[in-house]
Copies of this chain bind each other. A is one copy, B any other.
Amino acid sequence: MEVVRKLERGELSFSRLEEELGNANLAAVARRLFLEKTLRVNLSSIASTILDFEELYGRNIENPIGAVQIPLGVAGPLRVNGDYARGDFYIPLATTEGALVAGVNRGCKAVTLSGGARVKVLRDGMARAPLLWTPSVEEAARLVEWVKGNLDGVREAAESTTRHGRLVDVQVFQVGNLVWLRFVYSTGDAMGMNMATIASEAACDYIARNYPGEARCVALSGNMCVDKKPSCLNKLLGRGKYVVAEAVIRRDVAESVLKARPEDIHYVNVAKNLLGSAAAGSLSFNAHYANIIAAIFIATGQDVAQVVESSMGYTWTELRGGDLYVSVTLPSLEVGTVGGGTWLPTQREALAMLGVAGGGDPPGVNALKFAEIVAAAVLAGELNLLAALAAGHLARAHKALGRGGVKG
């Protein structure tokens, strides 16, 4: 191809290929050819994809060269008793970590045999927190008062940029002369990050135009949002969905399915998840929410970098009679069923397996249902690992599965 030679001679840049060739799929081919030649590699597997970059370009990816394929396994059925999700679900998990799907699957069995997971979404709102500079403590306090007194205008400006988004709260933080305005939105079935960003920019513009004092937006995201970083803030005030899921695991189920006694699982939870995390200076008091969340996020087209904050949470256990009460709390679970990667072919099918593909009716119910299912799956996966640890089976699982018998 001529364009490949142009790339090689430096006459054309990578990111101009779509424009040059007028077709995103062709551009992907050209880029691939160039890389194969330049780097002396074979990219034929990456090339083998059902993705149509004409559709994706400018929405989900730039400089595409093909696709990565991640194995997709299924755990379940998992009985969920949510306010939105009711019934038995098969959980799609995209992972390359052996033993993960099997483990979640065992947890699903224990939860389901015990009557299922009771799940609730306690709060719901996506946040974006611009950082504003003012010259002084006085002016910063005045700005805060002004925003509180002009909430209608701020809200109108923010909401003018979006169809489904509603500004539901403005949380204010001040350090010296600096002010963070943490705008919280309900975002329907979308995870809502972009919606919140764009609406918050409009809100800031409104403030800039109308506030009579001196204030200037330093950064549209001031790290008190908090996006893709672990934080106490999100754990206390929530971001995305604040979800809790619980089950009472019967002693016989624990012993027969999980091969562990309730009291041993309970001790592991308190010593490891509470005291161990405390001693490690961790913000996350659980065993491995991140494993389950990452696998579901990849499978369903979520923003995978948000595994960071979505996986923060607390596992709590109590002995009840001879049985085990167990709950998981996820204060910052960020999920959506529209937008982002949710509409890609394989991801959409994974969402469809859960009955939550696309927008819900009314808007928002699909995302809420999805959040409940995710929390229930986290409960299953967490329970399984705690039991495996209590029974001394962790390394065994990884030896049997996950390494193909090869010595590492």
CA gap between A345 and B325 in the complex, in Å: 43
Select one of B50, B219, B293 contacting A389, CB under 8 A.
B219
Select one of B120, B136, B278, B293 contacting A277, CB under 8 A.
B278
Chain A interface size, under 10 / 10 to 19 / 20 to 34 / 35 or more: 35 or more
Q: Quick one: copies of this chain in the complex?
A: 4
Is A392 an interface position by the 8 A CB rule?
yes
Do the beta carbons of B122 and A164 come within 8 Å of each other? no
Do the beta carbons of B96 and A344 come within 8 Å of each other? yes
Is A60 an interface position by the 8 A CB rule?
yes
Query: In the assembled complex, which residues on chain B have CB atoms less than 8 Å from the CB atom of A399?
Result: 198
Do the beta carbons of A69 and B68 come within 8 Å of each other? yes
- Of all chain B residues, which has the CB nearest A202? B395
With A275-B178, A275-B314 already in contact, the answer to whether A43 and B407 are too (CB < 8 A) is: no
With A71-B61, A71-B64, A120-B138 already in contact, the answer to whether A232 and B39 are too (CB < 8 A) is: no
Is A74 an interface position by the 8 A CB rule?
yes
Do the beta carbons of B105 and A62 come within 8 Å of each other? yes
Is A165 an interface position by the 8 A CB rule?
yes
Is A194 an interface position by the 8 A CB rule?
yes
Query: In the assembled complex, which residues on chain B have CB atoms less than 8 Å from the CB atom of A61?
Result: 71-73, 95-96, 98, 101
With A273-B223, A308-B307 already in contact, the answer to whether A72 and B66 are too (CB < 8 A) is: yes
Query: In the assembled complex, which residues on chain B have CB atoms less than 8 Å from the CB atom of A236?
Result: 173, 232-233, 236-237, 279, 281
Interface centre among A70, A131, A194, A402 (most CB of B within 10 A): A70
Is A58 an interface position by the 8 A CB rule?
yes
Render A27-42 as a binary contact track against B, CB cut-off 8 A, 1 for contact.
0000100010001011
Is A323 an interface position by the 8 A CB rule?
no
CA gap between A236 and B232 in the complex, in Å: 9
CA gap between A46 and B353 in the complex, in Å: 11
CA gap between A394 and B198 in the complex, in Å: 9
Query: In the assembled complex, which residues on chain B have CB atoms less than 8 Å from the CB atom of A98?
Result: 58-62
With A14-B105, A120-B137 already in contact, the answer to whether A222 and B272 are too (CB < 8 A) is: yes
Do the beta carbons of B102 and A63 come within 8 Å of each other? yes
Do the beta carbons of B46 and A346 come within 8 Å of each other? yes
CA gap between A119 and B137 in the complex, in Å: 8
Do the beta carbons of B219 and A41 come within 8 Å of each other? no
Do the beta carbons of B194 and A408 come within 8 Å of each other? yes
Render A137-160 as a binary contact track against B, CB cut-off 8 A, 1 for contact.
110110000000000000000000
Do the beta carbons of B162 and A137 come within 8 Å of each other? no
Do the beta carbons of B69 and A230 come within 8 Å of each other? no
CA gap between A66 and B92 in the complex, in Å: 10
Closest chain B CB from A403 CB (angstroms) = 6
Do the beta carbons of A195 and B233 come within 8 Å of each other? no
Do the beta carbons of B194 and A298 come within 8 Å of each other? no
Is A337 an interface position by the 8 A CB rule?
no
Query: In the assembled complex, which residues on chain B have CB atoms less than 8 Å from the CB atom of A99?
Result: 62
Closest chain B CB from A396 CB (angstroms) = 8
CA gap between A122 and B67 in the complex, in Å: 33
- Of all chain B residues, which has the CB nearest A45? B345
Do the beta carbons of A340 and B64 come within 8 Å of each other? no
Query: In the assembled complex, which residues on chain B have CB atoms less than 8 Å from the CB atom of A1?
Result: none
Is A5 an interface position by the 8 A CB rule?
no
Is A12 an interface position by the 8 A CB rule?
no
CA gap between A61 and B102 in the complex, in Å: 8
With A63-B102, A67-B72 given, name 10 new contacts (CB 8 A).
A66-B72, A68-B346, A180-B279, A219-B389, A219-B394, A223-B279, A290-B305, A294-B307, A298-B304, A307-B307
